[in-house]
Chains A and B, each alone.
Chain A
Amino acid sequence: MSKPKVGFYWCASCGGCEESVVDLAEAILDVAAAVDFVFFPVAMDFKRSDVEAMADGAMAACMINGAIRSSEQRAMAKLLRRKAQILIAYGACSHQGGIPGLANLFDRQSILQTVYRDTPSTVNPGDIRPEASTRIPHGEVELPVLDEQVKSLDQVVPVDYYIPGCAPPVQLLKDALAAILTGRLPPKGSVLAPDKALCEQCPRAPSKPDNLLIDQFKRPHLERIDPEKCLLAQGFLCLGPATRGGCGWACINANMPCTGCLGPVSRTRDYGGAAMSALASLVNSNDEAQIAAMLETIVDPAGTFYRYGLPASLLFARAGANADKGGHEP
């Protein structure tokens, strides 16, 4: 009997997601014994036409990491969607847009201007920009056109499951592979990680008072951080209350606040909004003005609450959908 095929493909990613798969280390041998584990772009003699020739649903599962930001990536995502029974968004970029999704705060022109004109080491008297097509003595050389907006995978194709994290913790990948093999998968649309906030069972939770009194957030580089005590109780902006657990409290154990890379718990659609209300509810006050004053002390709300999820957020999604013609497929 042939083993089920599990595909792995990357779009606009940093490479950390692939490294996280290589971090299966010795365990990769067990996985390989049970499934045909293939990194599409590099392991197979990958021709687009080969994938096209596959029967629809030929792959038991396909994981895609990285955000979507070009027509090529959109086309591959659609093709793989057809060929895979289960499509999994792997990692924060694919799940919610990721850190490179912060580019959605700016338009394409201003990005190009900063990179090719304003940066201090750039010497560009002709004000040259990379062009889709450049005439050279014997022909033309071409570059892809950048999309105006970065998108999460489910903004382009329907996604069955999500493996969260930047990069995803190895244990989540192991669990997901086991679930695929045994067919014990949760309802479609689920995030394959514990549906509990990071704060629950956090080793520092006992020092978190029921009623927090925060009137001002501290910045971690300007204050000492007690390595035992709840970070929120110390006044540092830890996103543990709003973030899904499953990372083994990696940042907390390094004595740094959680920045929310695993995204929201259960079906919260807008992570940033949920995080802000979670924080507001922690403030021992019913006074709107006081809550607002506390939130005001956050230097960069967009970059803090939407660090990993700007493209997927309700607040910013609309602008994104409009900006890119043909970008928002069903």
Chain B
Amino acid sequence: MTRHIVIDPITRLEGHGKIDVILNDQGEVDHAYFQVPELRGFEKFAQGRPAEDMPQITSRICGVCPMAHHMAATKALDDLYQIEPAPAARVIRELAYNTFMFEDHALHFYFLGGPDFIVGPTAPKDQRNVLGVVAKVGVEVGKKVIAMRRAARDLISLLAGKVIHPVFGLPGGVSRQVRAEEQERAVQVARQAVEFAEFTLGAFHDIVLKNRQYVALITSPAYTHQTYYMGLVDEKNRVNFYDGAVRVVTPQGKEYARFQARDYLKHIAEHVEPWSFMKFCYLKNVGWKGFEEAPASGVYAVAPLARLNVSDGMPTPKAQAAYEEFFGTLGPRPVHHTLATHWARVIELLCAAEMMLQLAQSPLLVDPNIRNIPTAKPAEGIGIVEAPRGTLIHHYATDEKGVITMANLIVATQNNAARIAMSVDRAAKALIKGGQADDGVLNMIEMAFRAYDPCNGCATHSLPGHMPLLLRIYDPRHRLVNEIRRAGGFTDFQGRGAERAGATEK
């Protein structure tokens, strides 16, 4: 009685993740396959393009995190032309980058991942969406979220030219100077951001952390994996989104490696499976041992939880206090509970906001010297940033005219791909019994990967709401015997919870 369960974005679109659950003869889960059904080939068609076009071309990998690609590419150009960005440019870039991180994390918290906890994982579906969040935390908050998002995105447009897709990155600098009156505006937005982030952390506290059931869910074994963690840290081993060294810790929290961008190939490798277009990253020196936990396996994780796990602290005071509370509650470091990612994300939201304020107040922000002009002959350049969803690497080789001959891109979600696959497999095995699956099971499996905010091939671009899912059970002759559908929960702004479930028997 082999059965085949497919969990697919209801749209069945390329670029969206897909999960195939394979049952054995007893109807138990043999394995769940997490698949990415799309490939666009940026690494190929980058070839022949001038390197200076990479920040604008590669941003089209993802319209949700275009700034991450734009910045990784711009930093790869700094390296390619061996030039440091002018001090003002560095401040402008970092301000734009932290504003982007803030805005993206806020979006995820309120629209995508947050509903699980704020409204509750077992709440009725039509409440488990952004409107449910608003009902719980107040209508004013809904307006606040929209206004905050707009203010942050307007600031990015001002600094970077366009928010979808930025244009300001040049090797050695940025294209546009910031004017004095614009600095006032930036400080104002940053203040608003800090207040917003503190409010959000407070809400998370009241609603999630004071609820024993939620805490039990976060720490339950179904959502726990012992793996390595990776993220960028500054010289004091604190979280940094824009720059630093890559630090890797073991599942026991010991530093396993700490390396500069130029050495990434010594540490990171990608494994190919025939059933997904996404390649799976692993630690080269530990090796690929399949979808297994540490210590034998080189599977590692990135993104908010991983960044906190690899860091000795946060670079800003309020986020530092939140970091201490996080590990005081769930610690010791590293925390292996995937669902704790939501909490880590809110702490990073606060960190990004505090960083925004520091940077916006810097006198260098309005310094007119925004560029160092490259003179070196280009050959090879590597740039790394922390995208909201984890470590992002751009690596280019060029001819001496600066035309790309090789591009290698390791996107955030790829680093997490093996662990996401494991989380999904674990959840499927724990929850699907005797071939039986219902809508509740769907949500629990969905929660396992929503915590990662997977942006598959940076192409999933899951918008506000729940990831739409389709679960299909096939009999041994591949006939459909049951189908459970679940639309996403991006309600249409009219108060109609559009998320509905329907089960159809065929």
Residues on A lying within 8 angstroms of B by beta carbon are 10-20, 22-23, 25-26, 28-29, 32, 36-47, 69-70, 72-73, 98-100, 102-103, 105-106, 110-112, 114-116, 118-124, 128-131, 134, 136-144, 146, 166-167, 219-225, 227, 250-251, 253-256, 259, 299-300, 302-303, 307
**From A18, which residue of chain B is reached at the shortest CB distance?**
B463
Q: Does B459 contact A (CB under 8 A)?
A: yes
A-B contact pairs, 14 of them (CB 8 A): A28-B493, A43-B488, A73-B13, A100-B60, A115-B279, A123-B269, A123-B270, A123-B288, A139-B22, A166-B60, A167-B63, A219-B50, A220-B52, A256-B161
Q: Does B168 contact A (CB under 8 A)?
A: yes
- A46 — which chain B residues lie within 8 A by C-beta? 10-11, 468, 487
- B24 — which chain A residues lie within 8 A by C-beta? 138
Given known contacts A16-B60, A39-B492, A119-B270, A166 and B165 CB-to-CB distance under 8 angstroms: yes
- B219 — which chain A residues lie within 8 A by C-beta? none
- Tell me the chain B residues, 45-63 only, with Cβ under 8 Å from chain A: 45, 47-50, 52-53, 56-57, 60-63
- A29 — which chain B residues lie within 8 A by C-beta? 493
Given known contacts A14-B61, A116-B279, A256-B168, A121 and B269 CB-to-CB distance under 8 angstroms: yes
Q: 5 closest A-B pairs (Cβ-Cβ)?
A: A16-B63, A15-B461, A254-B161, A42-B488, A41-B11
- A141 — which chain B residues lie within 8 A by C-beta? 20, 22, 33, 35, 275
A44 to B121, CA, bound (A): 21
Is there an interface contact between A256 and B167, defined as CB atoms closer than 8 Å? yes
Is there an interface contact between A121 and B410, defined as CB atoms closer than 8 Å? yes
- A129 — which chain B residues lie within 8 A by C-beta? 272, 274
**From A258, which residue of chain B is reached at the shortest CB distance?**
B167
Is there an interface contact between B10 and A98, defined as CB atoms closer than 8 Å? no
Out of A32, A121, A123, which one reaches B408, CB within 8 Å? A121
Interface window among B133-141, B170-178, B324-332, B442-450: B170-178
**From B23, which residue of chain A is reached at the shortest CB distance?**
A138
- Tell me the chain B residues, 15-41 only, with Cβ under 8 Å from chain A: 15, 20, 22-25, 30-31, 33, 35, 37-41
A14 to B384, CA, bound (A): 21
For the complex formed, measure the closest distance between the CB of B317 and the CB atoms of chain A, giving whole angstroms.
31
A46 to B275, CA, bound (A): 26
Out of A17, A32, A41, A299, which one reaches B488, CB within 8 Å? A41
Given known contacts A42-B489, A121-B268, A115 and B165 CB-to-CB distance under 8 angstroms: no
Is there an interface contact between B459 and A136, defined as CB atoms closer than 8 Å? no
**From B464, which residue of chain A is reached at the shortest CB distance?**
A22
Is there an interface contact between B490 and A299, defined as CB atoms closer than 8 Å? no
A299 to B51, CA, bound (A): 10
Is there an interface contact between B163 and A23, defined as CB atoms closer than 8 Å? yes
A102 to B54, CA, bound (A): 13
Out of A26, A72, A255, which one reaches B176, CB within 8 Å? A255
- B408 — which chain A residues lie within 8 A by C-beta? 119-121
- Tell me the chain B residues, 37-87 only, with Cβ under 8 Å from chain A: 37-45, 47-50, 52-53, 56-57, 60-64, 66, 77, 81
- A70 — which chain B residues lie within 8 A by C-beta? 14
Q: Does B231 contact A (CB under 8 A)?
A: no
Q: Given known contacts A18-B461, A25-B146, A73-B13, what 7 new A-B pairs fall within 8 Å (CB)?
A: A10-B13, A45-B502, A103-B45, A105-B45, A122-B269, A128-B272, A167-B165
For the complex formed, measure the closest distance between the CB of A16 and the CB atoms of chain B, giving whole angstroms.
2
Given known contacts A69-B14, A167-B63, A303-B48, A146 and B39 CB-to-CB distance under 8 angstroms: yes
A256 to B150, CA, bound (A): 24
A12 to B492, CA, bound (A): 22
- Tell me the chain B residues, 225-272 only, with Cβ under 8 Å from chain A: 264-265, 268-272
Out of B35, B41, B459, which one reaches A114, CB within 8 Å? B41
Given known contacts A37-B493, A45-B502, A254-B176, A17 and B63 CB-to-CB distance under 8 angstroms: yes
A135 to B170, CA, bound (A): 47
Q: In which size bucket is the chain B interface?
A: 35 or more
- B191 — which chain A residues lie within 8 A by C-beta? none
A263 to B23, CA, bound (A): 50
A299 to B49, CA, bound (A): 8
Is there an interface contact between B162 and A222, defined as CB atoms closer than 8 Å? no
Is there an interface contact between B492 and A130, defined as CB atoms closer than 8 Å? no
For the complex formed, measure the closest distance between the CB of B381 and the CB atoms of chain A, giving whole angstroms.
12
**From B493, which residue of chain A is reached at the shortest CB distance?**
A32
- Tell me the chain B residues, 382-414 only, with Cβ under 8 Å from chain A: 395, 401-403, 406, 408, 410
**From B22, which residue of chain A is reached at the shortest CB distance?**
A138
Is there an interface contact between A16 and B66, defined as CB atoms closer than 8 Å? yes
For the complex formed, measure the closest distance between the CB of B259 and the CB atoms of chain A, giving whole angstroms.
14
For the complex formed, measure the closest distance between the CB of B72 and the CB atoms of chain A, giving whole angstroms.
15
A25 to B464, CA, bound (A): 13
Q: Does B315 contact A (CB under 8 A)?
A: no
Is there an interface contact between A45 and B487, defined as CB atoms closer than 8 Å? yes
A39 to B488, CA, bound (A): 10
For the complex formed, measure the closest distance between the CB of A39 and the CB atoms of chain B, giving whole angstroms.
6
A48 to B276, CA, bound (A): 24
Given known contacts A19-B164, A43-B487, A222 and B373 CB-to-CB distance under 8 angstroms: yes
- Tell me the chain B residues, 450-501 only, with Cβ under 8 Å from chain A: 458-461, 463-466, 468, 485, 487-494, 498-501
A70 to B16, CA, bound (A): 14
- A120 — which chain B residues lie within 8 A by C-beta? 265, 395, 406, 408
Is there an interface contact between B274 and A144, defined as CB atoms closer than 8 Å? no
Is there an interface contact between B41 and A300, defined as CB atoms closer than 8 Å? no
Is there an interface contact between B270 and A111, defined as CB atoms closer than 8 Å? no
**From B408, which residue of chain A is reached at the shortest CB distance?**
A119
- A39 — which chain B residues lie within 8 A by C-beta? 463, 490, 492
- A111 — which chain B residues lie within 8 A by C-beta? 39, 41, 44-45
A221 to B177, CA, bound (A): 15
**From B483, which residue of chain A is reached at the shortest CB distance?**
A47
Is there an interface contact between B23 and A103, defined as CB atoms closer than 8 Å? no
A44 to B486, CA, bound (A): 10
**From A221, which residue of chain B is reached at the shortest CB distance?**
B52
For the complex formed, measure the closest distance between the CB of A28 and the CB atoms of chain B, giving whole angstroms.
5
Is there an interface contact between A44 and B498, defined as CB atoms closer than 8 Å? yes
For the complex formed, measure the closest distance between the CB of B396 and the CB atoms of chain A, giving whole angstroms.
11
Is there an interface contact between A43 and B153, defined as CB atoms closer than 8 Å? no
- A23 — which chain B residues lie within 8 A by C-beta? 150, 153, 163-164
A37 to B275, CA, bound (A): 36
**From A28, which residue of chain B is reached at the shortest CB distance?**
B493
Given known contacts A41-B488, A121-B265, A167-B165, A144 and B63 CB-to-CB distance under 8 angstroms: no
Q: Does B310 contact A (CB under 8 A)?
A: no
A110 to B43, CA, bound (A): 11
**From B31, which residue of chain A is reached at the shortest CB distance?**
A136
- A100 — which chain B residues lie within 8 A by C-beta? 40, 42, 60
A206 to B406, CA, bound (A): 41
**From A113, which residue of chain B is reached at the shortest CB distance?**
B44
Is there an interface contact between A15 and B22, defined as CB atoms closer than 8 Å? no
- A254 — which chain B residues lie within 8 A by C-beta? 160-162, 167-168, 175-176
**From A114, which residue of chain B is reached at the shortest CB distance?**
B44
Is there an interface contact between B44 and A115, defined as CB atoms closer than 8 Å? yes
Out of B39, B63, B395, B500, which one reaches A15, CB within 8 Å? B63
**From A38, which residue of chain B is reached at the shortest CB distance?**
B492
Is there an interface contact between A26 and B2, defined as CB atoms closer than 8 Å? no
- B11 — which chain A residues lie within 8 A by C-beta? 40-42, 46
